Structures are given as C-alpha cells and as structure tokens.
Amino acid sequence: MPEKLKLLSWRDVLGIALPSLLLAAGAFWLAAQFVKPAPPDTLVISTGGEGGAYQSFAARYRDVLGRYGIKLVEKPSGGSTENLARLRDPDIEVDAAFIQGGTGRVAEDDSLYTLGDFYHEPLWVFYREASLRGADKLLDLKGKRVAVGGMGSGTHHLAMAMLGANEIDEKNTRLLKIGGMAVLERFEKGEIDAAFAVGPTQSSLVWSLLYTPGIKLMNIGHAEAYTRRFPYLAHLVLPRGAIDLIQNIPEHDTHLVSPMATLLVREETHPALIDLLMQAAAEVHGEPGVFQKPREFPRAGHNEFPLSKEAERYYKSGKPFLQRYLPFWAATLIDRMVVMIVPLLAVLIPLFKFAPVIYGWRVRSRIYRRYGELKFLENQVNENPAQFSRAEWISRLEIIEADASRIRTPLTFSDMLYTLRAHIDLVRDVILRKTAA
C-alpha cells in the first residue's frame, strides 16, 4: 500500500491521542486528590477508667470490628475530659474517643466530629443513709465528705458544675477527687458520706452501689430545674423496682439527670472506619434498657460538636449500599475506585465522541487548503487570463497538483482526494480555453 494512502493517518492520530492522554491523566490526578487511602486495619479508641462503662462498650465494639478484620486498640484514660484533650493533641495517636455530653465545647481550631447520641449516661448520687437520711437535693451534701470523680473524668466535670450551682465548693465541703471502684472501698471504710457517679446501670460501680446495704440512691428533687440550667442534661425517671423487682431496687420512682454519651472522631479518621463504628454502635447501643426503647439509639441528637458526614449518611440511609452485599474490603475497594473512575468517564466519554470528528477535520483541512489554492488560481484565470502565459498558468497549476499528490490521506477520505484531482483537471481545461498557446 502506498505510503500516502493508509487506513489511518498516524500523525493525526497522535495529534489527537497525546492531548487526550494528557487530559485523562490530569483528570486521574485530580480525582486522586479526593480519594482516601485504603482504610487501616487498626482503630485506636480512648475509653475511660478500669471497669468503667466506656471500657465495657469498647470490648463489645472490638468483637464487632473484628468480624470485618479491623483490630480495635483501647487506650484507658481518666475519663471524658482527658479523652477530649487526647483528640485535640495531634501528637497522640487516637482515632475516636468516648465523650460525655457537656464536658467540652467546640474550640476555634477544632476538627472534631460527633457520631450522635449513643446512650443516656445518668448522674447517680449515692449517700450513706446513716449520714444523710432522706436526702433529696444536692444542697444536703454541704459540709459532708463527697467523692466527685477523678480528675479528667466526666463525673468530676459534671459534679463540680452541679455543686457549684448550689454554692458548694472546697471551702465549705470536703470534695475528694476519687472515682471508679475506689469509691466503693471508701464507702465500706466509712471515709466518705456521698459520691457522684456517671454511667449506665451496667457500669460496675453503679451496679455495686445499688446493691450495697446502707447506701442509698438520691432522688434529685430539682432534676427538671437542672435541665433548664444545663441544656445538655435530660430528666430521667428510674421506675420503682426497675433494677431488681425481687429486692425492690429502687424503693420508689427516682428522678435523675443525665447527659448523653457519644463518640467523637477526628477529621482525618478514615470514613470506612466511621461507617464500621456506626454499625457497631447500632448493634451495641440499640438494645432495650432501663432508660431506652429498642433501637432508640444511636441517633443524631443535639451535640456541642458537628455531626460527622458519615454518621449523618448512616442515620438517613443505614449501612452503606455496597457493604450490604459485599465483604468490607471489597466494598471499600470499589467505593474508592468509583471516585477515580467517575471523573475519568466524564473526560473520556466526550473524548471518544469528539475525537473522530476532530480526526476527520484534521484530514479534510489539508485537502480544503488545496481547494482554496485551486479556487484562487481559477479566479485569477477568469479575471485576467493574459496576466501570464499558458505555460506559466499550467506550471502554477502543476504545483498545486503535485502538492495534492503528496497529501497523506487515509482510505476513508480517499474519495475527497480523487474529487480534488478531478477538479484540478477542470481548472486545467479552463486555462486551456482562456489562454493562447
């Protein structure tokens, strides 16, 4: 096959393909900027003190995440306040942390997000019956020995806020910064008169104190008033016998106040891990309890921190679509690939549509250029045939003809080349008619 007559003009193909490849590569690079790396196989969570509810729930999360191949690493802490400090410290490796509602506010440089309300975390005020018989308000604790939770704990933060509302402080009351199971030991030794505890009924300290002889749970008579002063608190009622019908614990309906427990995550926590945390929370906290109905939690709620986008999507749509039908690793892989493929398709589909048009235009443009030269020559002959001799006119025409014969034309466009040659012969006839030999 002659060099000038091929199926394709590779010069034109390259002229279109190279810019197209550069455009596709640019789209791929741009998409890559928005693709999260593959999710890590480890999630670090900051919990609370030994034997506390946060540790108990983290252990159940570990079982759920383990089914998806994710290892949960627990970091014990002093409690909610310390957990918040850890999340804000970039030098501490932690992905999520349990936080008690009301223990912190959004700071100007925060990049922390809540996953919603997970469960009620009631404030329990226990007192020695021999020291505070019939106590029903926090003001009764003035002048007594009161355990207000360990430093860094949500218990300490809430206890000090509520005692402060009653003008109780270290000047008029002995406030002991102890929490956890050490409180039970102090009660047994007679070293304290009352103690604050925050947590669900399942927490080991609360459960133990509810069954300890001589220790009573305070019925907070001003519960509703506290919820007005502290908006993050809810008013709860523990029904008579709700803990134990046989032993009638509690002996009467008991009014409590309660913040909400939540999980906070960092902005850089991988979205796939947040999805798994939401699934674990739904499984663990969706069970019925003394203060909640089945599947009442988790919920979006009203928190001091903004709701994570992944959590918001979970509350609207539930489990991610791909994870309903595929293993976790496959779902996350496809999810990441979609982010890459969609921008590429947005570029490649128009390219595939317009590339043949551009290719045809490039080939035709070379032939049309010769048509322009031919038409210009014909007009000159018609207007002033005596301007040149016949030999000179023919010589100029032969230049155009020779140039046309060198055009590299794909077979698809060969009809246009033959038409050009026929038109060159027509102009030759015009020259022969208009000029003398």
> What is the per-residue pLDDT across 227-265, written as a single tens digit (0 to 9) for each?
999 999 999 999 999 999 999 999 999 999 999 999 999
- The Cα 57–Cα 284 span in angstroms is 7
User: How would residue 378 be classed by pLDDT, with cut points 50, 70 and 90?
Assistant: confident
* Averaged pLDDT for residues 146-168: 94
User: What's the pLDDT score for residue 261?
Assistant: 94
Instruction: Give how far Cα 19 sits from Cα of 13, 172, 354, 358, 393, Å.
Output: 10, 80, 13, 12, 42
Torsion sign over Cα 24, 26, 28, 30: negative
For residue 136, what are the CA distances in angstroms to 176, 219, 254, 256? 21, 5, 10, 11
Confidence class of residue 13 from pLDDT cuts 50, 70 and 90?
low
- For residue 367, the Cα-to-chain-centroid distance in whole angstroms is 56
- The conformation of residue 138, written as its DSSP 8-state character, comes to G
Given a cut of 70, is residue 430 above it in pLDDT? yes
Maximum C-alpha span of the chain: 139
What percentage of residues in the chain have a pLDDT greater than 70? Answer: 86
In sequence order, what are the beta bridge partners of 273? Answer: none
Q: What is the pLDDT of residue 109?
A: 83
Domains and CATH numbers, the chain: 5-27+341-434 (no CATH), 40-118+262-320 (3.40.190.10), 122-258 (3.40.190.10)
Q: Which residues contact 327 (CB under 8 A, 6 or more apart)?
A: none
Compute the 3-state secondary structure of the chain and give helix, strand, coil in percent, each to the nearest 5: 50, 15, 35
Quote the pLDDT of residue 257. 97
Alpha-carbon span 19 to 372, nearest angstrom: 29
User: Can you tell me the mean pLDDT for 267-271?
Assistant: 92
Query: In this predicted model, what pLDDT tens digit does every residue of 192-206 receive, in sequence order?
Result: 999 999 999 888 899
> Which one-letter DSSP state was computed for residue 232?
T
Which pairs from 181-185 meet CB under 8 Å and 24+ separation? 181/50, 181/51, 181/205, 181/208, 183/147, 183/209, 184/208, 184/209, 184/212
pLDDT at residue 28, as a whole number: 60
With vertex at residue 352, the alpha carbon angle to CA 348 and CA 354, rounded to the nearest 5 degrees, is 115
Collapsing DSSP to helix, strand or coil, 71 comes out as: strand
First-to-last C-alpha distance (Å) of the chain: 39
H or E element, residue 335: helix 328-383
Tens-digit pLDDT profile for residues 158-205: 999 999 999 999 999 999 999 989 999 999 999 999 999 999 988 889
pLDDT tens, position by position, 285-295: 999 989 999 99
Greater confidence, 337 or 242? 242
pLDDT category at 311 given cuts 50, 70, 90 is very high
Cβ 159 vs Cβ 179: under 8 Å: no
Chain mean pLDDT for the chain = 86
pLDDT in tens, 51-86: 788 999 999 999 999 999 999 999 999 899 999 999
CA neighbor of 299 nearest in space, from 287, 312, 310, 289: 312
Q: In whole angstroms, how far apart are CA 345 and each of 155, 342, 353? A: 54, 5, 12
Please report the pLDDT score of residue 371 as a whole number. 84
**What is the pLDDT, as a whole number, of residue 12?**
54
Contact partners, residue 244, CB within 8 Å, separation at least 6? 210, 211
Residues 116-123: what's their mean pLDDT?
95
